[in-house]
Structure 1
Amino acid sequence: LEELSAKMGGLVTRQSLSKYENDKTNPSPYVLGKLAETLNVNTSYFITEPTIRIEYIAYRKSPSLLEKDNKTLISRINKALEDRVRVLDLTGQAKDTAIPIKQFSVAKIEDAENAAQKMREMWKLGNAPILNTTAMLEDNAICVMNIKASDAFDGMCAIVYDNQDQVKTAVLVTRTEIAGERQRLNLTHELGHLVLNIQKGVDEEKAAFRFGTAFLAPAEKLFQEVGEKRALIQLQELLLLKKQFGLSMQALIYRMHDLNIINEFYYKQWFTRINQCGWKKSEPEEWIFETSHWMKRNALRLIAEGMLSQLEAERMLDEKLELDIPASVVERRAFLKLPMEKRRQILAAQATNMVQFYEQNKEWQDVEGGDFIEY
């Protein structure tokens, strides 16, 4: 926002731009025009109603989350989704969306296990551990958002529709500043909320959790690694399993209990040890937090193709971009994408301007010719 303010010649402050962005106040028509000119978009981009409808279908938060923080959070997510859909449309990826929303019926918790396996089959993932959950989800048309929020926020998922109620995309949201293994389970847990059609009488959170752990650690693969019955599991083995599946030690113990690999007594023993060692909130050998690159990668593509200005891309990404393509090249590509009639109008206007320039500035007539020099 600082840079945008500077490029507008200080017409509006960073604070004012922030208020416009968060719908706390509206710019004057003059400021709106300057803003559109600077970002290389039409003024209508700011004043037309969003062409998407967002339906939040799961929202995990603590009662301690303040209402004002909640509103700010929703506003940020809504704006990011509008940008995401615009990029989807510009790149032509929106038409490829095929997300199985509420497709798997769950009449009992165990059905969530089967749903996770079917989901893996649908996406052709096999039973191998998933190296990068974020990339896998984005490869399957699901938006992943990591936002800075308080501990009172855990995660949410939403469906994005166009104005004809067709699904454009879906989004899974988790917060930053958590361990990578927790982030991964948060995302697959939210995926469960998105694809499971949970019947009356079934605990929705337990079903989503079962789906999430089963998706990251399929039963067949886990049986292959640890066996079908265990009376003892060493810490080092558990840490190696954590490294392999990208699940926390706690989630793995829970998973093995769900599959009856370990009994209730040993399950409780392990959680007693976890509490005593202070590992409930911070475990040894944390996974690296996954970063989403989808938006940046596609924004750079659109800049290169002359379909998005650098400044607008920087606003969407909230970061400065260092480009090695001259702006003139991008502008030329954008010009060549225009209809022939529009290009002729622009060239005719430029020709008229140049005639006026040369008529008013006679210095060019004083330039003397000289010898050609070859380099």
Structure 2
Amino acid sequence: MDNTFAQRLVNARKIRCMSQRELCNSVDGKVSPTAIAKYEKGLMMPSSDVLILLSNALNMKLDYFFRPYTIDIDPSKFEFRKKSSMGSKKVESIKYLVCSEIEKYLEIEAILGITSKFCFDYGNTTVEGENEAKLLALRLRNDLNIGSDAIVSAIDLLESVGVKIIEIEHDSSFSGTCNEAGGLPVIVVNKNMCSERKRLTIFHELGHLLMYCADGVDKEKMCNVFANEVLIPSDKFKNLIGESRHDISLVELQAMQREYGISVDALMVKAAQLNIITDRRFTSYHKKKNALPTFKEAVEQSLYPMEHTCRFERLVYRALASEVISYSKAAALLDKSVNEVRDTLNLM
């Protein structure tokens, strides 16, 4: 029996958050739960008619079920630090969806003969507190040759050094996760988040992949410090806002938000961490925010241009334009129709 089909069927069902019985119901009982169980165990193959029913019910193209596995990715290694709020089915759905996306990403690179490498290894540094987390962030900035400049696109920057960024549309309670595949770091973010939150999440997840924390250290907190420092170094922040302040205007913070792509909330956290403002002033800021809806709306307004990953799609169209892959292959990789791919290609 075809074990590829069996595993693909399991994966597709988990991606769609469906049980075997729910899948059975979605095809109006034309396939029994027993038959679905046998398909998933590789004990039986469906007829062409049943295959079409399953494909439609799972909203997966037919060729998905027979695409060979090109790389072994362990879904269990994705970290979900807030998984209780989503439920196990949604967590599992994200894991298998991301594995499928990574597979396609690495496949198109292999087709084009592209060998990606990620050369940064900070295993010789142990983070014991905020200072070490900040120093690691500055070390990364130095390795990326960006000095203290604003990062125009977090996605483009990291993809240029081998990090795989996967954007998915999923539950609003999901922000991001990370893993490794083929020796490369993989960062997954919710496509629908505002730009500032997405950028902070990307570097937070990178912190989880790069940072080695001493026993007892709160890694979540250190990753937040790391991400904040990557987006705007403390020295640059102090230069812009001053060493000590009693009050800070929203106009000042929004100017930094527009340039550095970091939220007002995150900037206020940084001001408190650097003792630029007192803990009491930081607390009063949150009280004002919670008490005044118009102020809260102004503070949480997204001002930085949205950024999305487009490298995978670009590689697929490069392969298609170079006649390395067919239109049908490109459509399968992009999850689009052949006509959509033809219309988009627009050869020069």
* TM-score normalized by the length of structure 2: 0.76
Aligned to 1:52: 72
2:12 corresponds to which of 3, 22, 30? 22
Q: CA deviation at 1:284?
A: 2.5
Give deviations 1:266-322, integer Å, cap 9, x for gaps: 111212222223438971243333111101111111112222222222222223322
In structure 1, distance between residues paired with 2:297 and 2:177: 22
In structure 1, distance between residues paired with 2:250 and 2:266: 14
Residues 102, 318 of structure 1: CA spacing in aligned structure 2 closer, same or farther, 3 A cutoff? farther
In structure 2, distance between residues paired with 1:145 and 1:129: 23
Pair 1:271-2:286 in alignment = yes
1:286 corresponds to which of 293, 303, 311? 303
Where 1:172 maps in the other structure, the secondary structure is: strand
Give deviations 1:313-364, integer Å, cap 9, x for gaps: 22222233222349xxxxxxxxxxxxxxxxxxxxxxxxxxxxxxxxxxxxxx
Pair 1:324-2:320 in alignment = no
Where 1:174 maps in the other structure, the secondary structure is: strand
Where 1:94 maps in the other structure, the secondary structure is: coil
1:57 and 1:193 in contact (8 A); partners too: no
Where 1:100 maps in the other structure, the secondary structure is: coil
Pair 1:207-2:222 in alignment = yes
Where 1:210 maps in the other structure, the secondary structure is: helix
Give deviations 1:38-91, integer Å, cap 9, x for gaps: xxxxx9x94755433347353232413122222221111000011111122223
Give deviations 1:7-48, integer Å, cap 9, x for gaps: xxxxxxxxxxx95871676594986xx99xxxxxxx9x9475
In structure 2, distance between residues paired with 1:84 and 1:101: 26
Q: How does 1:90-169 map to 2 (within 5 A)?
A: 90-100=111-121, 102=123, 104-161=125-182, 167=183, 169=184
1:88 and 1:94 in contact (8 A); partners too: yes
In structure 2, distance between residues paired with 1:63 and 1:95: 34
1:102 and 1:194 in contact (8 A); partners too: no
Question: Percentage identity across aligned positions?
Answer: 23
1:172 and 1:190 in contact (8 A); partners too: yes
Where 1:52 maps in the other structure, the secondary structure is: coil
Task: Flag structure 2 segments of 5+ consecutive residues without an equivalent.
Answer: 1-7, 15-35, 53-62
Residues 29, 91 of structure 1: CA spacing in aligned structure 2 closer, same or farther, 3 A cutoff? farther
Aligned to 1:229: 244
In structure 2, distance between residues paired with 1:130 and 1:271: 28
Amino acid at match of 1:182: R
In structure 2, distance between residues paired with 1:30 and 1:141: 42
In structure 2, distance between residues paired with 1:300 and 1:143: 18
1:60 and 1:155 in contact (8 A); partners too: no
In structure 2, distance between residues paired with 1:177 and 1:67: 21
2:11 and 2:96 in contact (8 A); partners too: no
In structure 2, distance between residues paired with 1:149 and 1:231: 41
Where 2:79 maps in the other structure, the secondary structure is: strand
Task: Flag structure 1 segments of 5+ consecutive residues without an equivalent.
Answer: 1-17, 36-42, 162-166, 327-375
Where 2:73 maps in the other structure, the secondary structure is: strand
In structure 2, distance between residues paired with 1:70 and 1:21: 13
Q: CA deviation at 1:104?
A: 3.8
Where 1:144 maps in the other structure, the secondary structure is: strand
2:191 and 2:308 in contact (8 A); partners too: no
In structure 2, distance between residues paired with 1:196 and 1:318: 35
Amino acid at match of 2:190: R
Amino acid at match of 2:176: G
Aligned to 1:344: none
In structure 2, distance between residues paired with 1:101 and 1:69: 32
1:104 and 1:195 in contact (8 A); partners too: no
1:262 corresponds to which of 266, 270, 277? 277
Amino acid at match of 2:330: A
Larger fraction in strand: 1
Amino acid at match of 2:327: Q
Give deviations 1:128-169, integer Å, cap 9, x for gaps: 1111111111111111122111133221011113xxxxx1x2
Where 2:81 maps in the other structure, the secondary structure is: strand
Pair 1:249-2:269 in alignment = no
* TM-score normalized by the length of structure 1: 0.71
State the superposition RMSD in angstroms. 3.0
